[in-house]
Chains A and B, each alone.
Chain A
Amino acid sequence: MKRDRRIKKSLNFSRVEVLRKLLRKAKKYLPIFICSMVLAIITVSGNLLIPLLIGQAIDHIAGAGSVDFSSILRLLIWILASIGSASIAQWLMGLCNNRMTYGIVHDIRDEAFRHVQKLPLSYLDSHPTGDTVSRMISDVEQLANGLLTGFTNFFTGVLTILGALCFMLSVNPLIALVVVAITPLSLLAANLITKHTFSMFRVQTETRGEETALIDELVSEQKLVQAFGYEERAQAHFDEINGRLRSCSLRALFYSSLTNPSTRFVNALAYAGIGTIGAIAAISGRISIGGLTSLLSYANQYTKPFNEITDVLAELQNALACAARLFELIEAPEQTPDPVPDKLKHLPVSAGSIEFENLSFSYSKDKPLIHNFNLNVRSGQLVAIVGPTGCGKTTLINLLMRFYDPDSGRILIDGVDTLELSRDELRRNLGMVLQDTWLKTGTIYDNIAMGKPDASIEEVVAAAKASHAHAFIKRLPNGYDTQIGEFGGSLSQGQKQLLCIARVMLARPPMLILDEATSSIDTRTELQVQDAFQKLMRGRTTFIVAHRLSTIKEADIILVMREGRIIEKGTHTKLLAQGGFYAELYESQFAH
């Protein structure tokens, strides 16, 4: 049941719709496309002329002593000319097709990536990374393969069919009709097969996706699997999916590979038909032997494109399935756009006063989290967010940074509704250190300078010194130019954290959001980092998801959260006096 539902999900678009979208993306390649068409016509006519010439030449080789050498020579020169021009045209056509295909694919990838930058966090939080990556990489690759075979074979194929038909009619209309009568069989067979395999390929793609997700999980967390002696059950789970993949792949592969034999069979029938009827006609002199030879060649040339076109159709089926998944990504609704320039308000450097006005928010409609929340934070104040683990403290960060937008109510910074600011400007005013340290591939310098790409090396070093990262950076092989691999590579958790702090230290935004920032820093330098933070926080409005009692006590406002809701707010003394949940939390600190 579950599987079926997932299959339907990727069927948001019909095949025709996907094709139309694809054509829209290809629009700007129209000139190349026209070139390719012209070259295709040259290629095909050159190729088609040859059997006719060869047939005529063979007629001049009637038997011993009756060979007309001068006519043959003339014909052979013609053959040489046509094959020469056809070969060159075919090569140029290949270049055009490459340019179109890789161009389109390049454009789509760029567009997909740009789109991902604008997708709301809610989309990215609810779609596995692996799935999005596979849409942007392997689905695009398969689409490219499909398009390339499509461009290369489709038009030459159609032209060859039409051309061969004309030539055959000119040689012998009766036999031409025999060919025309038989070939629809080939199309019918191919059509039947592709129709049959489309759904098989889809099931295969889905099952493969399921398996890849499991592989991703089992491999990345292999240590955990081993620690829990979970290997055998993991293997069994995998083998179950693997078994399903086996049967659906076998069906997809086998049925799709029947296309070739079937069309070849129909061709062979056509060949036998022409051979027999042509030979009988030749006896009564209605056709020459050379003419029959040309016809047999044409029959091959005429039917071969049917093969190719059906191949192309099979490939296109797969490509369209992939394109559909790709368009699902590209057309996923973007986050609400920033206001248009003339309605946009500006806040180059905020003074740092923040006001929450009747704010309501929830991740899903059925579970309201924040309801009618009001809070006034004056410039430079320290707001500590406290509460038991998992109480949803990150929700406030999501809202402040506009990773998510409120359902109703407003957040005002210096009296300006954050929805009226551009996200970029808002975020430049807010410095953030998250619990999950994340570094990008690049040098240490690149990572610290992330929020201020034009920073001089002196500024970067100063920021690193202030956040006590300088000492370990200095000891790295290439100092600030040391490359860090994907996901931070060989740096320790604490070192990564220091870099994240240095990043904010350099940008020095007027407001800060700190999420348990110090939880995994080396205890012995924690004091120094605290000191650096104190410096940073001075004069800056700060929201901090706090665990340290000292931080909490210093806070101007404490927000106590529980189960996603803000249940108490006030100062330390006031909240203690209230004797509510905060007091209970505070008491428990002494309990161990």
Chain B
Amino acid sequence: METSSPASAAPVTRSLATPSKASEGRDGAPEPTLIDIRALDFYYGAKQALFDINLAIPDRRVTAFIGPSGCGKSTLLRCLNRMNDLIDGTAVKRGEVKIRDVDIYGPSVDPIELRKRVGMVFQKSNPFPKSIYENIIYGLRIQGVKSKTKLDEVVERSLRGAALWDEVKDRLHESGLGLSGGQQQRLCIARTIAVEPEVILMDEPCSALDPIATAKVEELIHELKKQFTIIIVTHSMQQAARCSDRTAFFYMGKLIEFDETHNIFMNPKNPQTEAYVSGRFG
């Protein structure tokens, strides 16, 4: 189960990986690319949603996707773990998405294995109607892990990783739905990191949270990027400015500009980007 096809499993092992391309980081050091999107065209049935997207997402950085509603940023995000496969009639018609040099739309890639490596946190927090403990170990249960010590360990590590341990350690066996909205979202993050993915995709994770809960999640993102590559879709430009290293601006299914977050907000090259980030848009 773990290595169903050698092509899909081997290159995503971190130690073996060689960066396909190196771009200059802000401090001048090379930033290895983890996800390389090339000339991607994506369709919902007959309607084209993404046009010729080229994007190199660096490893262990926070990349933000911004843009007005319907610009394709969530669609692109869901292309990265093939969640779009679940919707009838969707198709990548052209281009490729490479993660560690493996085309994830290639024939030798099992989307199930891919999603273990590329986790996702949804807009609407979706803890399962089970206990907090069961929520965290769901991914491991699926993989057949039975050892109680191992599971206990993962629960503590994941909850600590999601900055939730101190708040819930006394009620691990109560329902995850009894938590507040912000705690629920952090529970979902903990559930995602429990399966130790490489990439965490976040689809507007704070859109339903109040400012305090949002601040906690942003703080968490800051911590998580030491271990994980994070891609966050957000409607809040302040959020993108606060917590991302790089920002991609999308409009009408096209990538308009992709640069250091600092540059996007302070010194955008494209007039459309400037109009959007300064709030003069639409």
Q: Do A and B bind each other?
A: no
User: Which residue numbers of B lie inside 8 Å of A, CB to CB?
Assistant: none
Residue ranges of A at the interface with B (Cβ–Cβ < 8 Å): none
